[in-house]
Chains A and B, each alone.
Chain A
Amino acid sequence: MKIRILIILLFCMYSISSASDTLSPGQVLMKTQLIYSNLKDFSVKAKVIADIPNFRMPVKTVEFYYKNPDLFEAKTKGFALVPKYCLLPFSNSNKILRTPQNFKINKRVTIDKKKYIILQYINDNDKLKNKILFWVDAYLWRIDKINILQQDKLLSTIDFSYQNLDGFWLPDTTLFTMIFPKGIPNASGPSISDPFGGSQFGTLQNQIDLEGQVKIIFSDYKINKGIDDNFFENRNEIAH
């Protein structure tokens, strides 16, 4: 009896592990979507910490509001820079991930005993030939990393770490590492000879590419509290 159970268990484990090797891009996306199917809405507070060369901003608190499938709003006191892409890496909220036909499996890798399926987004209309790679955890079915490449040159990487709340894997910390083409000029403030300051902004072409990071730390999630549609009056044009 014990041997039978062991055989069945081994068979199940093999089936699970081999299943991820045969899934189509659409099926992989569906699996990442499935775990959020009961996520109707949520609000979350986020600390935005920017570490970008020649750019200093105080740590900002932004409140994000999301309602399934595509309502999104960010609110903050004063000013904040919020990454435009992949802030919420859920299949059913992300415009790109809603088009499984535009994906292909790039490769399957194992890093630190963790299996990943790397999906590649293909956009034939993109003249810049951007390549977007989604690293899907083949066990938990979460998107753990996104790479954006332009002509095989890495432009940005987004690393997600998650927390499990009410059965949903929601972002805990998201780290955006990106290259700023031609950088941000090392402009100085007003002076007698440059009364308004920042005249160096006219010499952008002389700048080099600079790498910067934006870290977003999420806290105080409120899940499925029933946010009204009217709340999202100023819908953000964000490819969340």
Chain B
Amino acid sequence: MLLLKLIYIELIKIFKRPRSYIGFITIGILIPLIMFLIDKFGFDFQQHHFLPFESAFLFQGSLVNGYLISYYLMTVLWVHFPFFIILVAGDSFAGEAAKGTFRIFLTRPVSRFQVITAKFIATYIYTAIIVAFLGFMCLGAGSIILGSGDLFVFDKGILILSQNEALLRFFIGYLLAIFVQMVVASLALFLSTLNDNSVAPIIGTYAIIIVSIILSILKIDALESIKPYLFTTYFDVFFSPFADPIPWSDIFNYLIALGKFIGLFYILSIVSFVRKDILS
């Protein structure tokens, strides 16, 4: 019960900070703008990918719709979108340390373990809300401006998913994206426990993500052995539901790997925060 109250308090803290709304505002403006621009200026997509069919087939209807753009916009979840999570998670401990509120907060009958758990859960809830908002804006604004329909994806060639099937895949995809962003949030929270200034965990987390992605992308044999230890190697799990059949065992393995990173950062945060001297 106390933990629930702590989570509630942490959520209030998160949503009282103006920085928590930067992501929502950006998504709220950017996504409809992208959809509008595609609607106005078009998207040269169909002609390029259906070249082998051109001589024998007539294309009835269009594959450029809100779902297709939403699918491609999911790529922002790798590098760009984590910034909104880091901005909030990175400030969670460091922000309070800088303001000196921990000293009062920890005089109350709550353990540091409960505080840290509440902060993690509250940040995960924020993460889930903002990812869901991204999904809602992409699919909602996309369907309104560009319309809905079948979804074109690449999977062992060309795969066209029916509208209902695509919606289900998006739902699973965004759920997995929440899990991916939880890893980002966990890393930012861990780095936040180490600092008394929120700038350092924000920049630090972002730098780690960028470096990890670079190492994941580079096709150098020597790097292959370290790739399983980079959490970014598993970041594309949210595209897995768009395969046919859905590779559930791969998804499960990726979730296990990501779960290990979440667990690792959580334990490291506990160790760091429990041993931390609250001096201000």
Contacts and interface: CB of A to CB of B under 8 A. Distances in A.
Interface of A: 53-58, 62, 74-85, 156, 176, 178, 180-193, 195-198, 201, 204, 236-238
Contacts of B160: 56-58, 79
9 contacts: A83-B58, A186-B156, A189-B242, A189-B243, A190-B239, A192-B233, A192-B235, A195-B78, A236-B58
A191 B227 CA distance: 14
A130 B156 CA distance: 32
Contacts of B275: none
Given A189-B154, A190-B154, A237-B58, 8 more contacts: A54-B158, A75-B60, A181-B52, A188-B156, A190-B74, A191-B236, A197-B154, A204-B52
Contact of A84 (B57, B72, B157, B244): B57
A55 B244 CA distance: 11
A58 B78 contact: no
Interface of B: 48-49, 51-53, 55-63, 72, 74-75, 78, 149-150, 152-163, 165, 213, 216-217, 219, 232-233, 235-236, 239, 242-244
B150 A187 contact: no
A236 B275 CA distance: 73
Contact of A191 (B153, B158, B239): B239
Given A58-B150, A78-B150, A190-B239, A85 B56 contact: yes
A193 B165 contact: no
Contacts, number: 120
Given A83-B56, A188-B154, A196 B149 contact: no
A181 to B, nearest CB: 7
The 3 residue pairs across chains A and B that have the minimum distance between CB atoms: A54-B157, A198-B154, A78-B149
B58 A187 contact: no
Given A193-B216, A196-B75, A78 B163 contact: yes
Nearest to B161: A58
Contacts of A188: 154-156
Contact of B58 (A58, A82, A184, A196): A82
Given A79-B63, A201-B49, A193 B158 contact: no
Contacts of A156: 56
Contacts of B233: 192
Contacts of A193: 216-217, 219
B188 to A, nearest CB: 20
B52 A183 contact: yes
Contacts of A195: 75, 78
Nearest to B61: A79
Given A188-B154, A190-B239, A81 B49 contact: no
A80 B61 contact: yes
